[in-house]
Amino acid sequence: MKLFPLEDGAPAQKENINVEVSAQPEPNPFYWYLKVFRQYADFKGRARRKEFWLFNLFNVLFALSSAILDTVFGDLFQEMTGAYLNELYILAVMLPSLAVTVRRLHDIGKSGWMIFILLIPYIGAVWLFVLLVTDSAKEANKWGANPKQN
């Protein structure tokens, strides 16, 4: 009894299916958050958009969570003058945030000093946002090779 009978009685042939498999699987989103902390004071090199934006997504989520916990603990323990979990988190993430922003600017071929464009009211924030969402420079630049090709 054949499991897969052929209508014409011809012998079954194996199909040659080419499946492109990448060398390494794509890491989970939280990997990019931890990667920034592993390079917490590294202002050299390049950071892709995915690394920058996933770090900022988790950063906002953790900052909101710590603010909520501060509120809850402040209400539970009346004798506390204030809960400082959110302030501690902000201090802990300040240097890594600055470093990943500078590396992101390097990725598009700009100097890290371009972060000071934020000093221009209104226009500076919009300009920096446009720079941060810009795709990586395809070729290697003076800060290293394109991280997408690694």
Residue 82: its pLDDT value, please?
Answer: 61
Residue 139: its pLDDT value, please?
Answer: 87
CA angle, corner 99, sides to 98 and 103, nearest 5?
120
Residue 69: its pLDDT value, please?
Answer: 86
Q: Is pLDDT at 20 greater than 60 in this prediction? A: no
- Which residues does residue 141 pair with via DSSP β-bridges, in sequence order? 144
* Cα distance between residue 74 and residue 14, in whole Å: 68
Query: Which stretches within 1-150 are classed as H helix?
Result: 29-38, 49-76, 85-107, 123-133
- pLDDT tens string 64-91: 998 888 888 776 666 655 668 888 999 9
Q: Is pLDDT at 134 greater than 70 in this prediction? A: yes
Residue 22: its pLDDT value, please?
Answer: 52
Q: Is pLDDT at 3 greater than 80 in this prediction? A: no
Residue 103: its pLDDT value, please?
Answer: 94
Task: Using alpha carbons, select from 117, 52, 63, 107 the residue that is nearest to residue 89.
Answer: 63
At position 92, the amino acid (one-letter code) is A
Mean pLDDT of the chain: 82
Residue 28: its pLDDT value, please?
Answer: 84
Extract the tokens encoding 100: 């990943």
* Cα distance between residue 143 and residue 128, in whole Å: 19
Distant-in-sequence, close-in-space partners of 54: CB < 8 Å, separation ≥ 6: 29, 32, 33
